[in-house]
Structure 1
Amino acid sequence: MVRPEYPAARLSDHVDTYHGQAVPDPYRWLEDPDSPESRAWIEAQNRLTEAYLSGLPGRDHFRTRLTQLWDMPRRGAPWKRGGRYFQWQNTGLQNQDVLQVADQLDGPWRPLLDPNTLREDGTAAINSHAAGPGGQRLAYAVSDGGSDWQTWTVRDVVSGQDLPDRLEWSKFSGAAWLPDGSGFYYGRYPQPETGEALTSATYGQTVYLHRLGTAQSEDQLIYARPDQPEWGFYPQVSDDGTLLVLYVTHGTRTQNMLLVRPLAQDGDFTTLTPLFEAAYQFVGNDGPLVYALTDQAAPQGRLMVADLRAPEAGWQEVVPESSDTLEAVQMVPGGFLLLSLHDASHRLALVGRDGQGRQDIALPTLGTVTSLNTHPDDPEVLLGFTSFLYPQTAYRLTLPDLTLQPLFAPTLDFNVDAYETRQLFATSRDGTRVPMFVVHRKGLALTGDHPTLLYGYGGFNVSLTPSFSVSRLPWLEQGGVYVVANLRGGGEYGLAWHEAGMLERKQNVFDDFIACAEHLIQQGYTAPAHLGIQGGSNGGLLVGACLTQRPELFGAALPAVGVMDMLRFQRFTIGWAWTSDYGSSDDPEQFQTLLAYSPLHNLKDGVAYPPTLITTGDHDDRVVPAHSFKFAARMQAAQAGDAPVLIRIQTRGGHGAGKPTALVIEEQADLLTFLSAQLQ
C-alpha cells in the first residue's frame, strides 16, 4: 500500500476560546464551500479519490452488478384519497420514482407526477406531497440538488396540469388540505439573505393557509411565535374535517405540544398537552374525543383519549404501556391498529375502540412495516413490508378478518434463500444488552476472517429495523457479513433507550457500537483487519467518534455526511435543533462533554487510523459539508502510515434524500470497491 499524496490544505492560525479554553480551528476557511480556495480543494480531493478508486479491482463489477440488481420494477404501498388510489412506482433504473394514480386498486394505473422530467440529471426530487379531498388535487414540494428547501406546486389530478400556485421558502413541512379542497395549511420560514440559503441558521417557522389561485403574498398567517424562534409547527386536519391540529416542536427533541381548534373557527387554539412534557402523536378523533399516542408516564408508549368538551379533565388511558415499544396507532372502523417494536422488529395487532380484544396479525417474517395507510371509516388497510432479505412488498389487509393479500412483490435477481438473518446481543461497557441483526450466507463457518460491515446510527429516537437494500446484496454475494446495531440513543426500546444516548450520556452510544464490534470478533465472525464500520449523519458522527477512540479495532471506516465538529454544528442551518440530543458548546459543562468525543478535535498526529472513505454532498444544507471537509483535511494531516484517507464529494448532492438512482449506484459501487480492497 502506497501512501496517497494528499492535496495541500492551508493551516490558518484561527483560534476560538470556549469558556476560557483555546481551541484551534485551522481549517475554518473550509466552512465556505463556494470560495475559490475551497472549490480548488474540493476538486483536488475528488481527483485524488477518483484516481485511487479507479486503480482498485472490482469497481466495474460492482457498478455492473448493482445496475443489474436495481433494474427491477418496484412499487411502494398504495394509499387512498377519496375515490382514488396513489402509489410510487419505478421501472427499475429511473432516477426518481414516478407517482401514479388509479380509480381502482388493481388499476389501470397512469402516471401523474414524474420528477425525472424536472431536471435532466435527476437531482430534483419530490420532498413532500399530499392529495386533497376526493383525490382531485395534489400539492407537491420539490427540492433541488438535495437541499431541504422545497417549493410547493399544485397539480390537477384529472388533467395532469399544474396550477399557477407557487409557494417558496418552505422546509420540514407537509400540506394539510381544507375539507373542501380550496386550499391547504403549510409551514414556511423567512427568506434567507442572498447567498446564505444553504448555510445560515434557520429560525422562525410559521404556519400559513394558502388558497388556490392566489399569490403566496396573500396567504393567511395562522400561527406564529416570534418570541420562540426555535419552535417548529406542523399542521394536520383531522380525517373527519372538523379539527385543525397543530404539532409544536422544539428542535429534534421528541417532546412536543398538541394544539387544536375547530376548523370552522378562527381564534385561539386549545392546548391539549403541557409544555414539552412528553411526546404526543395525534391518532384521530370521534367527534369531541381526541386520541393520542404518548410516552407521558409510559416510556414504551400508550394510547390516551381526551374530551374537547372538558379539556381540563386531562387524558385517560385506552391502551396501557407494555413491554414492547408502541410506535404507531391508526384508527380503523371500530378500533385501532397497534404497531409495536419487539427487539427492534415490528408486531401488528388490532384492538377495539375501548382498547380491549387484542388480535395479533401475522406478518410475513421478522421485519418492518414501512407504511400503514388507513382511514377511520374504511375497512381496507394498505401497507408495505420489508426485511433484510425481503424486498419492499405491498399488501392489502382486510378488516375484520385480518387477512394479508400481497398486491405487488418485485422479482429479484438474487437468491435470498441462500442467506439468513440472525439476532445477536452484545454486552456494552456498563452491562447494557445491545441487539444487532447479522445477515450472511447460510452455513457460514465462524473462522474469524469474514469481511464484515457494521452499520449504526444511535440517536434522535430513530429505530433501525430490518430493511431491504439492493446496495448490500453484492457484499453478501461476495461472502461478506452485514450487521445492523441497535444502539442507545435510538427508539428501539422507547424513551429510556433514547435518553440513555443523549447529552452527557452520548458516550454510551459509542460504547454500544464498540461492544458490538468486539462481540462479532469474539464470536468468530470477523477480525479487526476485516471489520468495516459505516453510518450517515448522526451515524457519521458515530463512525468518526469510534475510529478516533479505537482506531485499532477497525479495518475500514465509511462516515457519510457526518456531524464531525461538535463545537460548531449549531451555527449552521438547522444544526441548533440538535442540541436537544447533543448539548451545545455554549454551555460550559456540555462543552467539555462535546470536546471529549468530537471527531474533528480528537484526531491525533501520528496515529495509524484505519482506511477511511468520507462521503458528503456540496449542497448538503442539513449537515453542512464543512464538517466532512475539515475532518478529512485534519485526518489526512494526522494519519501515520499508508492507509488512505479519502473524501468523495458529490457535486449537486445533498444529505441523501432524493438522490437519483444513477448517482446512488455510482456511490455505492465506490464504497463497495473501497471496502473490498481494504477488508479482504
Structure 2
Amino acid sequence: MAVGTPICAAEMTEPDYPETRRGTVSETLFGETIADPYRWLENDVRTDPEVADWVARENAVTDAYLETLPQRAWFAQRIEGLIDYERFGLPEKAGHHYFYTRNSGLLNQAQLFVRKGLHGEPRLLIDPNTWAKDGATALDAWVPSDNGSKLLYSVQDGGSDWRILRVLDVETGEPLEDEVRWVKFTGLAWVGEEGFLYSRFPQPEEGEAFQSLNYNQAIYFHRIGTPQSEDQLVYATPDHPEYNHTAEVTQDGRYAVITTSVGTDARYEIHVVDLKARKKHGWQGRALVTGFDDSWNLVEGMGSVLWFVTNKDAPHFRLVRIDAASKTPEWSDVVPEGKDILERATIIGNQLVLNYLRDAASHAVIVGLDGKPARALSLGGFGTASGFRGKPADPETFYSFTSFNRPATVYRMDIRTGKSEIFAQPELTFDPERYAVEQRFYTSKDGTQVPMFLVRSKDAAKANQPLPTLLYGYGGFDISLTPGFSSTRMAWLEAGGAFALANLRGGGEYGREWHDAGRRENKQNVFDDFIAAGEYLIGQGITPKNGLAIQGGSNGGLLVGAVTNQRPDLFAAAVPQVGVMDMLRFDRFTAGRYWVDDYGYPDREADFKVLRAYSPYHNIRGGVDYPAILVTTADTDDRVVPGHSFKYTAALQAAGLGPKPHLIRIETRAGHGSGKPTDKVIEEGADILGFMAQWTGLQVGGLPTDGSEK
C-alpha cells in the first residue's frame, strides 16, 4: 500500500453541520460563570424528541460524509476477512463437563458449547444469535454449578450495563423458570447446587434506567425454583448507599467472600460468611479487612485458609494467606513483593500459578503452596496471558496468549509437568511474521520514561520508513494496556500503517505509584505523556508530521479530547470514543459518581480548578485549526451517557475550528462496547479507519486519498 499526502486546507470544504439549538444555561461555580448552552442534549435520546431529531440529523451528515471516503469499502472488506476466523474462549471445567465459547467467524455473538470429557463431542448449549434480529443481545458472564448440572448466565441487551440472570439445565439444554433483573456490576457465585449469590440495585424509576445514579447495591441469594421476590438479602449497607458489594464463593464451598468498594479505586473491605454455619447464624459476616486502604483480591480458599493478592505495604503486590476461622486471624506472606507487578494468582493441582506484568507484558511462574519457586512458563515474546483458572485438585488449567500480530491461542497445561499443548489455535488469513512488535521508551515532559509498543511491517521497520500511524492510549483507573489482537488494527497495518500503544501514567502498568501519578491533581501528566508519545513518533521518523491519528475510548476518549484541545497542531485526525467530555457534570449520571476516585469532585474547589483546566467540552479553542475529528458514541451507553459526546460535538461544530470535518457517529442499540455484534464491529471499524486514512495520507486498496482516479 502506498502512502500519500494528506489533503491540504485549500482542497477542503467544511461540512454543512446541522443546526443545533444554543441554550442560555449557565452556572456560577467558585466565582466563575460556566456556560452550558447544550445542556438539553443531556436528555435521553429515547424519550426526548428534540434530542432524537438532533441525533438523526447528525447521523445523516456523518453517514453522507463517510460514504464519500474511498478507503472505507476496502477497510470493511478487509476487517470482515480478518475477523472471519474460528475463535475459542477459555474452557471451564465443572464435574465431567467442559464449557467454552466459540465463534465460527462472522457470527454476531459467540455461542456456548459443552463437552462431556475434554475430547467429547461438542454440544451447542446457548446460541445468543437467536435472541434478537439485530444481534445486539449478548451472552455476558456464565458460571456452571460445581457438578456441571446447571449453568447460570447473564444476558446483556443493546450494550447496556444492566443484566438479566437466567439458569439452564445442562443435560436437557432447557431453561429453568428462574429470572433475576436489575443486576449490574455483579459477580456470579453458586452456593452448592441450591442457588447463587449476585449483586443488584433497586429498580429505577420509570424512564430513569439509563441515566439515574446507581446507589444502594446489595448482595442477594437466589434459591433455584423460586421467584426473585423471595430472594434473601445477604449483605447491604443502607447507611452507606454509595458502597458497592460483590460476592465470591471458594471452590470447596466453605466461604462466601464479600468485597466492598466505594468508587473505582482498588481499595476494599473484605467480609466472609462461613457457609457451613449458615443454618445456625444465617448470612452473618465477619470482617477480615476494614478501612478502604488497599487492594485485596481473593485467590482461593482451602478449608478455613484463604489466599489473597494485595498491595498493602507492597505497591507491586504480594501473595498472603489467613486462617479465617482463627479467633485472632493474622496475615502471613506466601510470596513477597517483587520487581514485577503480581496481577493475579490461582491454586491448581495444589500449586500456585502467578501471573506477572513486566513492562506491560505477561509472564507466569508456578510455585508451591509455601511460595517456594518452582518453574517459569515460557509465553513467547511480547504478549498477554490470561486464564489459569481451575480448582485446587485439578490436574490441568487453560490459558490463552495473544499479541498485536497474533490472535489468542488457547493452551491446556498439565500442572504437574508444566507442559502446555494447544487446545485451540486460529487459522489465520495473514502472515504474523510480516510484522515487527517492539517496545520503546520515550521521555515525557517532566522526564518520566514511558513505555510504548510499536507495530509495523518488518520492511518498514528495517527501512525506518515514515508511515501514517494510529496512536492509542487510555491512562486511567489503574487499568493496564497490554498487547492484544484486533482485526481492525490488523487491517490498518495491512493497509501500510503503523500502530502505537502508549502505556501512560494513570494506568496500572507499574503499580500504585504509576496510577497515582496520573489521576486527580496529576491528570495533566497523562496528557503530557500522550503528547510526548506523538512528538516521539514524529521526531523519530516513524510517522510523518501530518500522518498521526489518535484514538481512545471512555477515559481514553477524554484523553483524546483533552490533548486535541491542548495540541491541535500535532494530530491529523482524532477519534474520541464514548468519552467523558464534560468534567464538571460527569458525576451526575449512572456510574459517573464512582469516577471521583480518578477525577476528583466537581463540587470541591481544588478539584474543580483541575477539572475545569482540561475538560474537553469547556476548553475548545475557537478560531484555531483543529484536526479532523470523528466522535463516536451509542444511544444505549449507560456507562458514559451519550450526552457527553453530544454536547462536545455541538461545541466543536459551533467553534469555527477550520475546514476539517468534526463529526459524530451515533450507533443505535449499542452501549459502551461490550456485547457489540460482529457486524457493528466491522461497520464501525471501517468508518473509523476510512476516516483516519483520509486525513493521514494512507492510501489503501490502490486508491489515492483524494478519491481521484489513478
TM over 0.5: yes
Tell me what 1:10 maps to: 21
| 2:260 corresponds to 1:248 | yes
Match 2:211 to one of 199, 202, 221: 199
Secondary structure of the residue aligned to 1:552 is coil
The residue number in structure 1 matching 2:191 is 178
2:663 counterpart of 1:646:
yes
Displacement after TM superposition at 1:263 (Å): 0.7
Q: Deviation digits for residues 355-405 of structure 1, max 9, x if unmatched?
A: 112311111332101322221111201111111111111101112211110
Matched, 1:438 2:451: no
- The answer (yes or no) to whether the contact 2:213–2:593 under 8 Å persists in 1 is yes
Report how far residue 671 of structure 1 moved. 0.5
**More displaced 10-residue stretch of structure 1: 596-605 or 329-338:** 329-338
Q: Which residue does 1:409 correspond to in 2?
A: 425
Correspondence for 1:288: 304
Q: Is the 8 A contact 2:503 2:509 kept in 1?
A: yes
Query: What are the Cα deviations for residues 156-193 of structure 1, in whole angstroms up to 9, with x where unaligned?
Result: 111111111111101011221112x1110111110101
Which one of the candidate residues 600, 606, 610 is aligned to 1:589? 606
- What pairs with 1:104-253 in structure 2 (closer than 5 Å)? 104-179=117-192, 181-253=193-265
- Given candidates 632, 656, 662, the residue that maps to 2:673 is 656
1:459-498, aligned counterparts within 5 Å? 459-498=476-515
Q: Are the equivalent residues in 1 in contact too, given 2:649–2:663 (CA < 8 A)?
A: yes
For residues 528 and 173 of structure 1, the distance between their equivalents in structure 2, rounded to whole angstroms, comes to 46
Letter in 2 for 1:277: D
Distance 1:640 1:275 in 2: 49
How far apart are the structure 1 equivalents of 2:476 and 2:297?
A: 19
Tell me the SS of whatever aligns to 1:670. helix
Matches within 5 A, 1:331-350: 331-350=347-366
Q: Residue in 1 aligned with 2:275?
A: 263
| Alpha-carbon shift at residue 83 of structure 1 (Å) | 1.4
Q: Is the 8 A contact 2:254 2:304 kept in 1?
A: no
How far is 1:245 from its partner?
Answer: 0.7
For residue 397 of structure 1, what is the aligned residue in structure 2? 413
Aligned pair partner of 1:304 in 292, 313, 320: 320
1:385 aligns with 2:383: no
Alpha-carbon offset, residue 313 of structure 1: 4.6
Does the residue aligned with 1:48 lie in a helix, a strand or coil? Answer: helix
Contact 1:371 1:385 in 2 (8 A): no
Deviation at 1:663, TM superposition (A): 0.7
Task: Say which is worse superposed, 515-524 or 641-650, in terms of deviation.
Answer: 515-524
For 1:311 and 1:546, the matched residues in 2 are separated by 54
Q: Is the 8 A contact 2:405 2:490 kept in 1?
A: no
Local SS of the residue matching 1:29: helix
> What is the CA–CA distance in structure 2 between the aligned matches of 1:367 and 1:449, rounded to whole Å?
25
**1:501 is the counterpart of 2:512:** no
In structure 2, distance between residues paired with 1:621 and 1:312: 44
Matched residue of 2:132: which SS? coil
Greater CA deviation, 163-172 or 444-453?
Answer: 444-453
What is the distance in 2 between the residues matched to 1:233 and 1:103? Answer: 35
Deviation at 1:634, TM superposition (A): 0.2
Match of 2:703 in 1: none
Judging changes above 3 Å, is the alpha-carbon distance between structure 1 residues 313 and 178 closer, same or farther for their aligned structure 2 residues?
A: closer
TM-score by length of 1: 0.98
Alpha-carbon distance in structure 2 between the residues aligned to 1:147 and 1:223: 25
Match of 1:60 among 73, 82, 105: 73
1:314 equivalenced with 2:330 (yes/no) = yes
What's the offset of the Cα at 1:99? 0.6
SS in 2 for 1:580: helix
RMSD value, Cα: 1.2
In 1, distance between residues paired with 2:377 and 2:657?
55
Whether the aligned pair in 2 keeps the contact of 1:76 and 1:393 (CA below 8 Å) is: no
Query: Which residue of structure 2 lines up, in the alignment, with residue 617 of structure 1?
Result: 634
> After the TM superposition, which of the residue ranges 354-363 and 438-447 deviates more from structure 2?
438-447
User: Which structure is higher in RCO with an 8 Å CA cutoff and minimum separation 6?
Assistant: 2
How far does residue 19 in structure 1 lie from its aligned partner after superposition?
Answer: 2.4
Match of 1:82 among 95, 102, 112: 95
Please report how far the alpha carbon of residue 448 of structure 1 lies from its aligned counterpart in structure 2 after TM superposition.
6.6
Matched, 1:43 2:60: no
8 Å Cα contact 2:18/2:58 also seen in 1:
yes
What secondary structure is seen at the aligned counterpart in 2 of 1:62? helix
CA distance in 1, matches of 2:328, 2:662: 60
Alignment: residue pair count: 679
Partner of 1:367: 383
Deviation string, structure 1 residues 211-232 (Cα, Å, up to 9, x no partner): 1111100001111101111111
CA distance in structure 1 between the aligned counterparts of 2:84 and 2:327, rounded to whole angstroms: 54
Distance change >3 Å, CA 432–CA 499, structure 1 → 2: same
1:73 to 56, 64, 86: 86
Q: Provide the rounded CA distance (Å) in 2 between the counterparts of 1:407 and 1:207.
A: 36
**Cα pair 2:201 2:216 within 8 Å, conserved:** yes
Tell me if 1:32 matches 2:49: no
Equivalent-residue separation in structure 2 for 1:402 and 1:653 (angstroms) = 42
What residue number does 2:3 align with? none
Query: Are the equivalent residues in 1 in contact too, given 2:44–2:211 (CA < 8 A)?
Result: no
TM-score by length of 2: 0.94
Query: Contact (CA 8 Å) 2:353, 2:388: kept in 1 or not?
Result: no
Residue 422 of structure 2 aligns with an amino acid whose one-letter code is P
One-letter identity of the residue aligned with 1:390 = R
Of residues 337-346 and 253-262 in structure 1, the stretch that sits farther from structure 2 once superposed is 253-262
SS at match of 1:430: coil
| Among candidates 555, 561, 577, match of residue 578 of structure 2 | 561
The letter of the residue matching 1:128 is: A
Deviations 1:55-106 (A, max 9, x none): 1112211111111121212211211112110111011110000011001222
Structure 1 residue runs of 5 or longer lacking an equivalent are none
**Hey, what's the Cα distance between the residues in 2 that align with 1:462 and 1:17?**
35
Counterpart code for 1:666: E
Quote the residue 1:103 is aligned against: 116
1: distance between equivalents of 2:196 and 2:350?
29
Shift of 1:311: 5.8
* 3-state DSSP of counterpart to 2:289: coil
Query: d(CA) in 1 for partners of 2:52 and 2:657?
Result: 27
Which shows bigger deviation, 481-490 or 64-73? 64-73
Q: Does the Cα contact within 8 Å between 1:556 and 1:611 map onto a contact in 2?
A: yes
Contact 1:607 1:640 in 2 (8 A): yes
5+ residue gaps, structure 2, are 1-11, 698-710
- CA-CA distance at 1:286 after TM superposition: 2.8
Aligned to 2:373, the other structure's residue is in SS state: coil
2:32 — aligned with what? 21
Partners of 1:672 and 1:311 in 2: CA distance? 61
Question: Residue 550 of structure 2 contacts residue 560 of structure 2 at CA under 8 Å; is this kept in 1?
Answer: yes
Q: Write out per-residue CA displacement over residues 319-363 of structure 1, whole angstroms, 9 at most, x where no aligned residue.
A: 010110000011122321110001000010011111112311111
Provide the rounded CA distance (Å) in 2 between the counterparts of 1:358 and 1:257.
32
d(CA) in 2 for partners of 1:109, 1:76: 14
Q: Residue type matched to 1:541 in 2?
A: L
Q: Matches of 1:575 and 1:514 in 2, distance apart?
A: 26
Deviation, 1:443, is 2.3
